């Protein structure tokens, strides 16, 4: 049984899935997400224009359609033999779930900022080559103008505004310094085997921040180990090697990254949960949740660089948070005590007793209130 990945090299989340499939060493082919492929395959299967999409040739008439990187990876993990990207021990697994969310939903901020502030022409050419591979380079560039104006216009919704640019860049450089130091001691986040967290970080760090030329030059200069890690995680590997650290060890570098999550992303998640409470009060079970629930004031940046700015309320991130809280709630005894101690240690004590206002589900490839 094989897989087909529909995506593009310029896509953040395509990079996450591609790197994982290469490490998992499952047979897959990749199809470029041209306009024709959107019309013929993605829209009929998913219902809206989004990548990556994976089609699993599982023996059914049309194969199983998978969308969303986490759902794709979880499906492959359940379907294929061999080592897992999910650690078995409680603290490592909870930390991995948190850092996958941090990569998917928070590092997207610098990924989008650096792309459209410093790499716009490169990205526009890449968008055009993906959508219109039959055109000349000049025609491809022009054909991508509308899409580029749309995507570059979304950075404000992520909290990137003139008043927050310096804070976004300072926080990203701080992240690079912490992660680079960690990679001086370990091949991956939790040892010599990549985890779901490594692939959560890989999406923004490879497909945008390393592959785009100007931010890539910056990464190689400021954090050469991170650049090499991203290249290694994304490259074909053809072997399932490595192990997680014994004894449920959380390395110092991972603790420092988790502290960044607790200080930067977690308050935004809590405020998003409050917004969902307000919105969902009179909504019926199963209803689709809008991609944006208005705007709110948030702190962006790290330490003394933080500033208050406007950001869209993005409820999808709560589905990722639900994976974290569900795992924590599934534990008992010494395992729960260990993860609760870890949460307190990183400054996330409020997660110990946190309950989402509504259960969420993936329905028709979108986020909805649970039935």
Given 3-state DSSP classes, what are the helix, strand and coil percentages for the chain, each rounded to the nearest 5?
55, 10, 30
Q: What's the rounded Cα separation, in Å, for the pair 102 and 260?
A: 9
Q: What is the pLDDT of residue 278?
A: 95
* Dihedral, CA of residue 79, residue 81, residue 85 and residue 91, to nearest 10: 100
**237 falls in which pLDDT band (50, 70, 90)?**
confident
Taking residue 343's Cβ as centre, other Cβ atoms within 10 Å add up to: 24
Q: Looking at residue 1, what is its pLDDT? A: 66
Q: How many CB atoms lie within 10 A of CB 176?
A: 20
CB 37 within 8 A of CB 8: no
Token pair for 71: 């759902």
Q: What's residue 241's pLDDT?
A: 80
pLDDT in tens, 69-79: 999 999 999 99
Proportion of the chain above pLDDT 70, given as a percent? 100
Q: pTM (2 decimals)?
A: 0.97
Question: How far apart are alpha carbons 65 and 41 in whole angstroms?
Answer: 10
Output the average pLDDT for the chain. 96
Q: Which residues pair with 269 in a beta bridge?
A: none
- 3-state SS class at 219: helix
**248-306 pLDDT, tens digit each:** 999 999 999 999 999 999 999 999 999 999 999 889 999 999 999 999 999 999 999 99
Residue 72 contacts residue 52 (beta carbons within 8 Å)? yes
Quote the CA–CA distance of 12 and 204 in Å, as a whole number. 5
Domain boundaries, the chain: 3-79, 90-114+161-369
Considering only the C-alpha atoms of the chain, give the largest distance between any 2 of them, rounded to a whole number of Å: 63
> Contact at 8 Å (CB) between 276 and 119?
no
Please state which architecture CATH assigns to domain 3-79: 3-Layer(aba) Sandwich (3.40)
pLDDT confidence band for 244 (50 / 70 / 90)? very high
Query: Token pair 């990945």 is at which residue?
Result: 5
Bridge partners (DSSP) listed for residue 55 = 4, 65
Q: Where are the alpha helices (DSSP H) in 106-223?
A: 108-118, 120-131, 137-143, 145-152, 165-183, 196-202, 213-222
Per-residue pLDDT, 73: 98
Phi, psi torsion values for 10, nearest 5 degrees: -80, -10
């Amino acid at each position: 049984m094989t897989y087909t990945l529909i995506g593009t090299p310029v896509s953040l989340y395509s990079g996450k899935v591609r790197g994982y499939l290469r490490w998992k060493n499952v047979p897959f082919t990749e199809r470029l997400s041209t306009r024709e492929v959107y019309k013929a395959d993605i829209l009929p299967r998913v219902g809206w224009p989004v990548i990556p999409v994976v089609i699993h040739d599982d023996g059914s008439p049309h194969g199983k359609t998978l969308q969303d990187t986490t759902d794709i990876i979880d499906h492959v993990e359940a379907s294929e033999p061999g080592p897992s990207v999910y650690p078995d021990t409680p603290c490592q697994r909870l930390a991995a779930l948190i850092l996958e969310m941090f990569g998917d939903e928070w590092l997207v901020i610098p990924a989008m900022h650096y792309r459209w502030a410093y790499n716009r022409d490169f990205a526009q050419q890449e968008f055009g080559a993906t959508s219109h591979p039959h055109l000349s380079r000049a025609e491809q560039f022009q054909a991508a103008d509308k899409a580029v104006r749309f995507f570059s216009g979304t950075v404000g919704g992520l909290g990137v505004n003139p008043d927050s640019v310096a804070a976004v860049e300072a926080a990203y450089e701080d992240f690079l310094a912490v992660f680079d130091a960690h990679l001086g001691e370990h091949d991956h986040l939790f040892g010599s085997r990549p985890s779901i967290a490594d692939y959560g970080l890989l999406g923004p760090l490879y497909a945008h921040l390393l592959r785009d030329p100007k931010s890539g030059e910056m990464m190689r200069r400021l954090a050469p180990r991170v650049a090499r890690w991203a290249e290694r995680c994304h490259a074909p590997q053809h072997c399932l090697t490595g192990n997680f650290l014994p004894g449920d060890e959380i390395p110092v570098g991972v603790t420092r990254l988790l502290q960044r999550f607790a200080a930067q992303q977690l308050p935004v998640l809590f405020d998003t949960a409050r917004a969902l409470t307000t919105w969902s009060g009179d909504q019926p079970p199963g209803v689709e949740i809008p991609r944006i629930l208005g705007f709110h004031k948030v702190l962006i940046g790290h330490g003394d660089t933080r500033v208050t700015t406007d950001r869209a309320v993005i409820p999808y991130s709560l589905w990722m948070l639900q994976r974290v809280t569900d795992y924590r709630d599934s534990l008992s005894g010494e395992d729960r005590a260990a993860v609760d101690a870890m949460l307190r240690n990183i400054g996330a004590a409020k997660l110990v007793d946190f309950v989402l206002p509504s259960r969420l589900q993936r329905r028709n490839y979108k986020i909805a209130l649970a039935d």
